A and B are shown apart, each in its own frame.
Chain A
C-alpha cells in the first residue's frame, strides 16, 4: 500500500491552508491557542518559509530574518501562492519546540526539542525525548483541529476568510 501523498490526498491543500491560517493569526494578535485541558500554546513563524502553487509553478523559498514579514512573501501570496513549508516556534509553559511543518504531508522536519530536563538517567532521558516528539505531534494536532473547526464551519466564508483577505489586502497596500 502506497502512503498518501500530496498527489493522492485530495485534501492535501488543507495543510497549506493551515499554515496560512497560522501565519494570519500570528500577525493579527491571535497567536495563542487554548487546547483541551486548559493548555495554552503560542505559535509564530520563524526563519524559513517556502511558498508554492500548483505543481507546474516555481516554489519560492525565503530564509533568514523574518521571511513571513517580507515583501517577497506578500508578493507570493498576492499571486495565489500558499505556504508549503514553514519553520515554526511552538511555545508552551513546558518548553519551546522549533520545527518545519510540511503542509501537504503534515511531516515534521528538523524538529528541535525543548532543553532536556537535568539529572535524568539514560533510560529516563530516552523516554523524556520520545515524549517530547510525541507531545509536539499532539499539540500540533490540537491546533489543526481548531483550524478545521473554523475552516469547516459555516462562519468561515462569512467571517474568517474576509478577515484573512483584509490582512492580505493590507499587506498588499503596504507594498505600494
Chain B
C-alpha cells in the first residue's frame, strides 16, 4: 500500500501532451521493469557528472522503488521524471579562479589554460555542490496512446522525449496545431486544404477586398 507517503496528484499546473508513436507493453511488469532500468541515479557525490535524468515513482523521489499500486492505476500510468543538475556557482568559480591565477604568479592565463583551471576547480568543488532537483509529473493513458507531461520548458520536453524513447523504444510526437489536425482523421478533401493552408487575413483593409460595413452586410 501507499501508506500515506504518496503526494496527491496536482490540481493546478502547466502541461504538454504527446501522442505515443507505438504501443507500450501491455503488462504492468514490463512497464515497471522499463522504468526501473532507466531509473534516476543520484549525482550527489559525483565529481564530474553535471546532469542526471531518470524515472522515479510518485512516492519515492530517490528512484529506488517502483510500486505497482502507485504507478499502474486503473485508467492511467503515473510516474515522474527527475532531473538533477550540478553546477559550481559562478561566484565560487570566480573566487577560485582568481586564487589559482594569483598562485600561478598573477599572469592572465590563455583560453586553454583557463579551461584546464576551470576543469580542476570543478573536480575539486563539484563533490561539495548539491544538485538542483526538478521533478516533472507524467500521466499516460495507454488506451488513447496519450502522454501528459507536467512541465513546459524546452529542456524538460527534450529530456522526456529522449528518456521515453530510450526506455520503451517509442517516440513521442508533440501535439501541436499540425499534429493535432492530422490526428483527427478529417475527410480527404479537408486534409488536402490543410496541406496548402496559409494564414488568413483578418483585417480586411489589408486584404485588398472591401470590408463589409456591418455584420448584416457580411452575412449577405
Give me the interface of A with B, judged by CB distance under 8 Å: 1-5, 9-15, 17-18, 20, 28, 77-80, 82, 103-113, 116, 122-123, 125-127, 129-131, 133-134, 137, 141, 144-145, 148-149, 151-153, 156-157, 161-170
Complex contact A4–B14 (CB within 8 A): no
Complex contact B178–A14 (CB within 8 A): yes
Partner-contacting stretch, out of B46-54, B111-119, B122-130, B203-211 = B203-211
Complex contact A126–B204 (CB within 8 A): no
CB-defined contacts of A130 to chain B, threshold 8 Å: 9, 73, 75-76, 78, 139
When A152-B186, A165-B211 are in contact, do A20 and B202 touch as well, CB less than 8 Å? yes
B171 within 8 A of A: yes
List residues of B (48-104) whose CB comes within 8 Å of A's CBs.
69, 73-76, 78
Complex contact A165–B14 (CB within 8 A): no
12 A-B contacts, Cβ less than 8 Å apart?
Answer: A3-B158, A3-B172, A9-B177, A12-B178, A77-B203, A105-B174, A105-B177, A122-B2, A130-B9, A134-B139, A145-B184, A151-B200
A-B contact count (CB 8 A): 178
Interface of A is mostly: helix
CB-defined contacts of A148 to chain B, threshold 8 Å: 181, 184, 186, 190, 194
* Partner among A9, A141, A170 whose Cβ is within 8 Å of the Cβ of B178: A9
Complex contact A149–B148 (CB within 8 A): no
B105 within 8 A of A: no
CB-defined contacts of B161 to chain A, threshold 8 Å: 1, 3
CB-defined contacts of A82 to chain B, threshold 8 Å: 202
CB-defined contacts of A11 to chain B, threshold 8 Å: 177-178, 181, 194, 197
CB-defined contacts of A137 to chain B, threshold 8 Å: 17, 146, 148
The smallest beta-carbon distance between A114 and chain B, in angstroms, is 9
The smallest beta-carbon distance between A143 and chain B, in angstroms, is 11
When A129-B11, A162-B218 are in contact, do A80 and B190 touch as well, CB less than 8 Å? no
